[in-house]
Structures are given as structure tokens and as C-alpha cells.
Structure 1
Amino acid sequence: MRNIIMGLAAIVMAMPTLAIASPPRNPFLADSVIPIFHNDTGQTGATAVPGPIDESRTIEQENIIWKKLGPSDGYSYQYSGLYPNGKRVGWFGGQQQLVKLDADTLETISTYSLHEGKFYSPEEIGRLIDKADKLSGQALYDAIVPPLAIGIERGAQAIYRLIDNENNLYVLYTDRSSGDQYIRKFGDAVVNDPNSDIVLKQQIKLPAESGRRMTAIAMNMTYDGTIIVVTLDGTLFAVSRDFRILDKAVLADRPTDGKEFMDAFVRNSIAIDDAGGIFVVTGTRMQRVQWTGTKLSFDERDGAWSVPYATGPRGSGTTPALVGWGKASDKLVVIGDGVGNAVLYWRDHIPDDWRGLSGQPRRVAAITPIRFGKDPIRLENALVTQDYGIFVANDTLETKIPWQGSQMKTTLAEKYAGQTSGNEIRGGMKWTWNPHTRSLDIAWKTPLALVASICTPNANHLLYCVGMRDGASTIEAIDWNNGKSVFHYVLGKSYRYTAVGGLVNIAPNGDIECGCAGGFGMFRVRTPPQARFQR
């Protein structure tokens, strides 16, 4: 055995080290693999933690941890920095409860109830998924979609949140009785004790305008520690970590009133770079608002810009993701527009010799159709980026399903339909920006069924996704450079693994996990020791 281990170690040491140009770590966020949704302030979705390299295998059920947390309560999660005792915790939930878990074992440490009303216990969630596993078609949607839709509508604010460098969790919150909007800061009842209870440390009420319905939807943090909040109706706030409102600004073309989530003027998160750029996609424009250190600026002299894009009926469904890091790199930002294209923008200075693209604003660096069949598709899942690479998994069904009464319910039902045997959503595509030709080129496509998961590129140049093979859910490991399948894990035949647009990630200990679990929690795959080698 010792000789085998030594041999594997020698192979790993002989492999070339592949440098990755990553966003610089934000010093005011937790020093953690996932301190914020989409993993970093640039919203790249990539991680510096290497995941497993293994052979294809079926994973025994005892090596899959399934945390049944509540409707949409596993979708977003963050990990703390290290505590003095060397431990980390994970913060989960946001709809019916906040849950603090041991980062290594996923054992529950503490819970904090957020709302009154229907509460789903782990036992009830288990029964609901067991029931779903026996259903299909409309009967499946009727059983599983209503609680998920309610969960997301009530807890959507809590998805886009963050942990600071003092291990405090910042969450957006709406008081259901008054409609008042808050930023809330949660932490440990005993400072520096990860095993202590969850407490609400502080909160600030965001000022509302008379006659307007305002719902705060997303937050991010600048590199000077300022919290930036955006609302569904297009208002930006800059707030200090001690909860002083530093500035407020209104985005261009803001409608007269806010809308429901799926049709809102702003319904994605915001990206922030290390130069104070705040990147927001609204229902009409892609724009950069500049944080100067004292104010939110729309002035081009400060670096701000704003351009219209092709919005379609609901605008972009994707959070802007930043591309290109380092002094010598091209600096870009990418979104999926509302009519089936990936659009890449120069995020700061446009090169003086850039002539622009025919029919597009000069700010546009590239535009290309997102196509897995004959027709372009519009995205609801975010694009992920690493170096100059940009990837997206198909999230659109080829066959339409019946209208479910609202856009939210229909979208959720489509996610379940796309992870039903024989109806799998298939396809993934990577582009690479070429700084020499200034073009966005297709690097590769894969026909694998990646079932609308948001995949994660990581430090060993693999891309991990949730997939399906022969009716069973899988974890797919794909070579980031050439798109070839490296290995896959077979998880089993159950809707507990349905991605519902959830993020696949690498846990602090190197395990693969997903804020999926049919939308009712998360799961983690324990990987064998021999798979824990950097590529």
C-alpha cells in the first residue's frame, strides 16, 4: 500500500502546475472557498480548491451526505474563515431558517428561525422527495413545485449574501407585516466559538421612497469593505459594515414601480472588481457604476458606463461574471442577454484601436449565440469563468411543458422535467477569449446531460457538474481545457439530486457538493482518499 501511495504522489508531483489568473482575494470577505454566492466578488463561480481526480464509480449511499434543510434553504451557502481552533462552519438556509453546520461533517450546530408559517422538517422533506420519486409529469410538478416556489419567493433575498472577515453573515430580509427592508448581520453568540448559537448581532432598515414597493435582492462587497445592495426596482445602496448608509443611487430607466421576482427590473446579483467597478444588468441595460470610496458614480470620468442590450421579454437571467485578471490582461464582463446570446463587454478602458462590432455599442467586445440545437437559447443559469474561459451548461428544455400558473413555477417545473429520464437537458459549451485576435472562440462543446446545474471550474482544471446517465444522477468531471469526460460518479435514481439550477462546488475539505437536493437542501459526496491528488 505504501508503494502505491508513493507512486501516486510521484505522478502528481510530475504533473505540470497550471497557473490560473484569479480575482484577488477581497480582504474584507472571509478567507474561505465560498465566502459569497458565486464564490468571489467577481462572480466567476470558480474555486481555488482542487477537487478529486478519480476513476468512474458508483458512490455508496453511505458516502453521500444529504442535508434536508427546507425549500430553497440549501441553494445558497457560504463557509466561514478559520476559527482559532482551526475549524470552519457553513451557513445555510435563508427561507424558513438559517442553519450553521460543521464544515467538515455537515452536522448541525445551530438553527435560527426566520419566518412563521409552514415549516418543513427533515422527515417531511424526505417523505416529499420519496413521493416525488414515484411520480412524473404534471403529478410531479404539482407535488414538488408549490413549496419550492413559495420558498424562493420568500427567501430569494437570502440567496445573494456574504460572510465578512470576522465570520459575520450578512443577509437581506423583508419584514412580512410591514414590508420594511433590512440588512441583517448574524454571527456567533460567543465570539470565536464556532459551536455557539446563532445570534442576530445588528440590523439596519433601508430607507424606502414614498409610494414605491422596494425589495432588496442582492449584495456584494467592495475591496474597501463597503456593502453594495441592489433592489428589484433598481436602487443601489452603499452601506458601511457598521451599518451607516454612505450613498444611494438610482439606475437608469428604473420603472415606476418594482415587479415580482421573475419579471423584475433587477433580478440577478452584482459583480464587483478590485478597482471599485460595480457591474449590474437591469431589464434594459448592462452597466458599470463606480464606487469612488465616498459615492456611487455614474460619471464616465470615474470609469462608469451604461449600454443597452437585447432584452427580449424578461431581460437577462444571468449575474454578470468578470473575465480577465492581472495588469496585462484584457478586462471583460460577460452576461447572457435576453434573446439567446453571450455578450462580452470591455469592463474598464476600451482599447484605443478597438473599432467595435457592426451594429453593436463600442463597449461590446464580443457577441455569440448560445446554441445547443438549431435555435439560440436564453439563460437563467449563470455563466462561469476561469482565466479567459467562459462556460455554461444548457438549461433549456427542448419540449415545452404546460404553464404552471406563474413564471417562477414554470421555471422550476422545467428544471425537474429536464432531470427526468428520457427528457434530460443536454449540452455544455466553453468559449475562450483570445486577447491577440480579440475574439471569443468556441473551445469545445459536450453532449453530456448536465441538467441545468451551475458547474464549477477549480484549481486542477476540471469542471464539475451534476449530470445524468441511464436515468441516474451523476457528478461529471470534465477537462476544462478540452471538454473530455475525465470521470463520473453515479449517485442514484432520485429527485433528491435534482439541480434546480443549483451550484456545484468544492467543499473546504475537497469533497464535491451541490446546493441542490431537489431544491430542499444540499448534498455532499465523500471522495475516497486516493482521489485527493492535485492534477
Structure 2
Amino acid sequence: MRRRYGWWVLVLALIAATSLAVACGDDDDDDTSADDDIGDDDDDTDDDTECRGAVCDEDDDDTTVDGVDFSNDPPTNPYLAGDIWPMSHRNPYCQGSSPYPGPTSDDGLHASFLTGTPASITMTTGLQDESGDAPLWGSTLNEVYLIDASEQPMVELSVIRKPKGVSNPIGGAYTLADADGFFFVPRNNRLYAYRNNPAGNPYGKIVLAGIYTLPGDSDEESIIGLNMTYDGFLVYATDRGRIGVVSRDFSDEQVFQLSDEDEEMSNSIAVDENGGVYVVTSKFMHRVQWTGEELTQDTAAGAWSAAYETGPEDRPPGRLGVGSGSTPSLMGIGDQDKFVVITDGQILMHLVLFWRDEIPEDWEPIAPGKDRRIAAEVPITFGDPEAEISSSEQSVLVRGYDAVVVSNYYGRFALPSYFAALVSNFPLWAPYGVEKFSWNPTTRTL
């Protein structure tokens, strides 16, 4: 039976919906020494854990609880810390949405605020206690912290400083908490595992439990994206187009280089229950296939690549890289049409849907010269029919066949991208606009 997590999701959704603000800076602390016990705890995750998604257990018809409809939830990954919000974008599909409705009035609402170092763009829920509450893990440029949001006002339980130096401010933005109580945070060319002390107490002091370093000559490389496969491995992507799978105790790894070494990445990655790893780069939208033993781009294994409109080589204001500004979001479960959803890099940004699995036999390209895998490509104008430019640096929110995009266009001001993001709370530079799209499975149009 599901617990009522609506207020948890509200807190996390409000954090996730804020404009991206990134600041650069170093601290003077030395690397924190890691405990050697990341692999000591027995992995008692039950492979037969009941999936809470609508299609994971066909015999489970419990898709509506207390009036909340869970039928559009993707399969729950049992290796994550529950299904409230255990990772950036909430789940491996990176949908960034929740079945719980938002508030319809201000009755019973209250605000609680904690100061800290910039910039914590998302938070994740850790392991739940016996009452169903869970602490919130967060990551800033310089700190990892733990909050008890069940108390009012919120209580900061523990803070630990990160190792000094930031080579890429995007690294560390995407984090996740696993079912064994570990919180994983990328930083530069390393992946850090934190846990509570004592182990098993979700509200205990934060300690560093382990460090994974990218293989090879990786000093100038940064881990950008992070997710969890449905067989319990961490999967990451670097800014230089390398995809890696590593066990959660860091004892085993598989690293794969995308076929074009000139491809760059500035977003996280999505994962499905069939081993698909979805990676958008400065040139292509890829499905890299995890077979359980290796990563491959072999089409016979289910992998594919498709070109999309990447736009100009100079990134516009509001963007952190060339091409798409969105982490791929997965749309469709069960017998539904299944897609990968991104925003492209055109000056007037478009919403793009790619067929996720096999392309329907009768499907024709949407226009001459377009990749046949593209199912839809429509302009995003945020309601302005005369719009000539639009931009977003957010993953597309997906729920069922609905997709929502928010604006990150800061206007025609010659401001450095990071500075523009930092001042985006001021009306002069603030981005305005939200637009919703829906896929029609009957007409197969967006």
C-alpha cells in the first residue's frame, strides 16, 4: 500500500521547478577521507520487490490509492531509495512528474527556509523510516547536506564539505539515493558515495564511504549524467561522450566511448527497464544498450542513433551547452506508444519525440531529410505566434502522453550564460513561459 507522500513531492517539485542557477567556486578543504565500507553492507535488495509502476506487475491492479492515479507511473526501480523522489528528475525515465496533485489553495501551506551555499538545483529523498518519512539529500557546489523536512521549520541534520575544485559546474547537479542508504554525487572525474553513520540510520551523520575515478587519462573529463539501471548498476555519462556502468560498490565497471569522439554532453541520461540508456549529445540522440554485461551501440541489441536539429555552434543565453538543453525524458509505458522526448537546439526551439523501440512499419519521415525515427517535431513559442527565439535548459516534464516545457530564455542581453542564470530571478532577465503538448495516439500527432 502506498503512503501519502503529497507534501514530500510538493517540496521537491517546488525546488525542481526553479530556474537553474550555477555559480563557480573552489573551497580550500582537502579531500575527505573515504570509509572503506561501501561494499561491507549486505545487498538485501529483493529482486522480486513489488514494482509500483502500472506495468511492472501485471497482476497488481492497485493503480489508484486515496484518489491518486498511479497508472501512468513507469516501473519502479527497486534499487533506488523508494519512489517518492530518489533521484534527479524523480525516476530513471527522468519524467520529473508526480501522480500527486499540487495545491489548489493556500490552506495549510507554510514556508520553511534554510540558507546554504549555491547552487542546489534538485534534492532527493533518502530511505524512509518506520513512519514513512524520509530525509532529503542535497548537493551544492561545495557541500553535501541532509535535511529533515518533516519538522517545521526544517532541520539541517548534517553537512559535509566536498573535495576542493570544480572543473565543470554541471557535474554534481544530478544525484541519486539507493536502496542501501548510499547517496551518489559526481564531481569532476570522480563519483562519490556518501552514507549515514551509523549505517542504516537515515538521519545519521554524513560520511564519505567510497570514491570511483574515471579510468584512463581523465583529469580534464567530468561526469555529467547519472542514473540507475534496473539491475542495480550506476550508469553515468561524461562531457566527452563516454558512457559507463559501475557497480554500486565500485568494484566492477564497463566504459564505452560513443562512436563520434567529438560529441559533447551537457545533460543527464534516462534509462528504461529493458536496458536502454538514452543519451543526447551535441550531435545525436542515442540509445546505448546495456545487455547486463556490456554497453553497445549494436542495432541488433536494440541500440540506435538519430540526428536532430542541434542549432548554432554558439550556445544561446540560458544554455549550458550546444544542442539540446534537456535531459531525455521517456514517454509511454505498457502497450502505449513509447518515445524519447527532448527539446532541440534550434533558435526557435522545437519539442522532438523519437520512437523509443521499433519504428512502426507504416511510419514515414515527418519531412524530407528528417530521420525516420523522429515521431514529432513542433515549435515551442510559449503562446507567442510571432516568436522567433525560445530556449530551455530543463528536462521536459512528462506525464502519460503530456509534455510540459518551461522557458529559460533570458532576453537579448549580452550576458555570460552563468551570470544570466544567476540574475534570472530579477524581472528584467527572468524567463517567462510554459507550454504543454499532448501526443494523440489515434492520429499519431503532437
**TM-score, normalising length: structure 1:** 0.64
Question: Are 1:427 and 2:441 counterparts?
Answer: no
Q: 117, 121, 139: which one pairs with 1:93? A: 139
User: C-alpha separation between the residues in 1 aligned to 2:126 and 2:91?
Assistant: 13
The corresponding residue for 1:394 is 407
> 1:170-185 alignment to 2 at 5 Å?
170-174=184-188, 181-185=189-193
The corresponding residue for 1:160 is 174
User: C-alpha separation between the residues in 2 aligned to 1:28 and 1:295?
Assistant: 19
Task: Give the aligned length.
Answer: 365
The corresponding residue for 1:297 is 296
User: C-alpha separation between the residues in 2 aligned to 1:207 and 1:315?
Assistant: 27
User: C-alpha separation between the residues in 1 aligned to 2:222 and 2:99?
Assistant: 33
SS at match of 2:170: helix
The corresponding residue for 2:375 is 365
Cα distance, 1:302 vs structure 2 = 0.7
Maintained 8 Å contact 1:29/1:163? yes
Cα distance, 1:427 vs structure 2 = 2.5
Maintained 8 Å contact 1:32/1:80? no
Q: Where is the helix percentage greater, Structure 1 or Structure 2? A: 1
User: C-alpha separation between the residues in 1 aligned to 2:198 and 2:108?
Assistant: 42
The letter for the 1-side match of 2:264 is F
Cα distance, 1:103 vs structure 2 = 3.1
Cα distance, 1:85 vs structure 2 = 6.3
The letter for the 1-side match of 2:367 is S
CA deviations over 1:67-113 (Å, ceiling 9, x no partner): 111110x3121111213465421111231111111131220111111
User: C-alpha separation between the residues in 1 aligned to 2:354 and 2:375?
Assistant: 5
> 1:402-417 alignment to 2 at 5 Å?
402-404=414-416, 407-413=417-423, 415-416=424-425
User: C-alpha separation between the residues in 2 aligned to 1:154 and 1:332?
Assistant: 30
Q: 240, 247, 253: which one pairs with 2:247? A: 240
Cα distance, 1:172 vs structure 2 = 1.1
Cα distance, 1:47 vs structure 2 = 1.4
Maintained 8 Å contact 2:92/2:272? yes
The corresponding residue for 1:43 is 94
Cα distance, 1:235 vs structure 2 = 0.6
Q: Which has the higher contact order (CA 8 A, sep 6+)?
A: 1
User: C-alpha separation between the residues in 1 aligned to 2:288 and 2:187?
Assistant: 24
The letter for the 2-side match of 1:438 is R
The corresponding residue for 2:129 is 83
The letter for the 2-side match of 1:206 is L
User: C-alpha separation between the residues in 2 aligned to 1:424 and 1:200?
Assistant: 37
Aligned-residue Cα RMSD (Å) equals 2.4
The corresponding residue for 2:398 is 385
The corresponding residue for 1:469 is none
SS at match of 1:410: helix
The corresponding residue for 2:116 is 69
Maintained 8 Å contact 1:70/1:93? no
Maintained 8 Å contact 1:271/1:280? yes
Maintained 8 Å contact 1:217/1:267? yes
Larger Rg: 1
The corresponding residue for 1:121 is none
Q: Residues 154 and 233 of structure 1: is their aligned pair in 2 closer, same or farther, counting only changes over 3 Å? A: closer
The corresponding residue for 1:113 is 161
The corresponding residue for 2:317 is none
User: C-alpha separation between the residues in 2 aligned to 1:51 and 1:364?
Assistant: 33
User: C-alpha separation between the residues in 1 aligned to 2:222 and 2:289?
Assistant: 22
The letter for the 2-side match of 1:68 is T
Q: 431, 434, 443: which one pairs with 1:437? A: 443
User: C-alpha separation between the residues in 2 aligned to 1:341 and 1:290?
Assistant: 26
User: C-alpha separation between the residues in 1 aligned to 2:175 and 2:330?
Assistant: 18
Q: 337, 354, 357: which one pairs with 1:348? A: 357
The corresponding residue for 1:287 is 286
User: C-alpha separation between the residues in 1 aligned to 2:360 and 2:268?
Assistant: 27
CA deviations over 1:217-275 (Å, ceiling 9, x no partner): 121011001111111010111101121333111113222xxxxxxxx810000001111
CA deviations over 1:380-414 (Å, ceiling 9, x no partner): 222100000001122224x422333xx3333444x
SS at match of 2:255: strand
Q: Residues 220 and 58 of structure 1: is their aligned pair in 2 closer, same or farther, counting only changes over 3 Å? A: closer
User: C-alpha separation between the residues in 1 aligned to 2:93 and 2:433?
Assistant: 25
Q: 183, 207, 223: which one pairs with 1:216? A: 223
**Percent identity of paired positions between Structure 1 and Structure 2:** 32
Cα distance, 1:209 vs structure 2 = 3.1
Maintained 8 Å contact 1:83/1:192? no
Q: Where is the strand percentage greater, Structure 1 or Structure 2? A: 1
**TM-score, normalising length: structure 2:** 0.77
Q: Residues 403 and 50 of structure 1: is their aligned pair in 2 closer, same or farther, counting only changes over 3 Å? A: closer
The letter for the 1-side match of 2:196 is D
User: C-alpha separation between the residues in 2 aligned to 1:426 and 1:237?
Assistant: 37
Residue ranges of structure 2 left out of the alignment (5+ in a row): 1-63, 314-321
Cα distance, 1:206 vs structure 2 = 1.7
